[in-house]
Structure 1
Amino acid sequence: MELLINIDVDDLEHGIGFYEAGLGLQLGRRLFDGTVAEMHGACAPIYLLAKAPGTVATARADARRDYARHWTPVHLDFVVENLEAAIDRAMRAGAEIEDWPQDFDWGRQARLSDPFGHGLCFIEWKGEGYGAAMRP
């Protein structure tokens, strides 16, 4: 099975700029008449999809795309080498910090949102990472 990650953005150039400058991803290809940008640098390709605000998200619900900060039960975690440096880089590119770094047995985590209202987390592993939380 292959995993592809798709992120709706209201401005494709702004999305490319943020994910390049803020997360260090690189633009691969532009697809579908320039409405999709394929980003590389994570363990799975991330596709930024140009979708206008207010457009219908699905035919099965009345939900419309809104790029203000919103909550969703699915978000992306990016494992980083240096949490403070990653936060600084993302914020300089337009991310907003939501929860400053917290310490856990498995490492440290900070919660942010991208300029399009999507939540994301940065994780800096400590020792065995999540494996440390599995011990009885």
Structure 2
Amino acid sequence: MAQREARLMQVLVNVDVSNLDQGIAFYCRALGLHLTRRLFQGSVAELRGAGVRLYLIEQANGSGATPAGCRRDYREHWTPVHLDFVVDDLDAAVRRAIEAGAVAQPAQHAAWGSLVTLRDPFGHGVCLVSFNGAPPYEVGAT
């Protein structure tokens, strides 16, 4: 019996934003992504250019986020899930992000490279990472 080739699982990244046009402008300008299409009567934007499809979903501030009654809040917040964008020129990437509306923390430097944490205009944490050689998760990989 012939074995089926395993299908690679896809990862889709979804980010809630209170203003879709502002979200598109930020992620395209700050990170070099590009809008590929709008979905669901224009309430969702698909962006590409980072190895995954990124979907911005317009959701009003204060709208229900869970059946248990949690409400969306776009003030600065922390979440255990965030986006890391690997860039070649960290200084240029940080400059673009700030010009597009991000708030940046000072760069952190380590033997593997450098990292800058950002807050997008909707309070989401986003990191810009620049590696010195192979990313740490590839070192020693077989």
| Segments of 4+ moved more than 4 angstroms | 131-134
Query: How many matched pairs?
Result: 133
Which of 109, 126, 139 is the aligned partner of 1:120?
126
TM-score, normalised with respect to structure 1: 0.93
Once residues 132 and 35 of structure 1 are traced to their aligned partners in structure 2, the CA distance between those partners, rounded to angstroms, is: 37
Bigger CA radius of gyration: 2
Which of 60, 64, 86 is the aligned partner of 2:71?
64
Secondary structure (helix, strand or coil) at the match of 1:18 reads helix
Secondary structure (helix, strand or coil) at the match of 1:129 reads coil
Which of 41, 53, 62 is the aligned partner of 2:49?
41
- Where does residue 36 of structure 2 map in the other structure? 28
One-letter code aligned to 1:127: G
Once residues 8 and 72 of structure 1 are traced to their aligned partners in structure 2, the CA distance between those partners, rounded to angstroms, is: 13
Alpha-carbon deviations, 1:45-77, whole Å to 9, x = none?
Answer: 000000001011010x33210111111111100
Any stretches of 5+ residues in structure 1 without a counterpart? none
Once residues 45 and 131 of structure 1 are traced to their aligned partners in structure 2, the CA distance between those partners, rounded to angstroms, is: 22
Once residues 95 and 56 of structure 2 are traced to their aligned partners in structure 1, the CA distance between those partners, rounded to angstroms, is: 22
- Where does residue 16 of structure 1 map in the other structure? 24
Q: For the Cα contact (< 8 Å) 1:52–1:65, is it kept in 2?
A: yes
Alpha-carbon deviations, 1:80-121, whole Å to 9, x = none?
Answer: 0011110000000000013x1111121111101100000010
Which of 111, 117, 123 is the aligned partner of 2:117?
111
State the 1:132 CA deviation: 8.0
- 1:2/1:132 Cα in 2 relative to 1: closer, same or farther (>3 Å)? closer
State the 1:127 CA deviation: 1.9
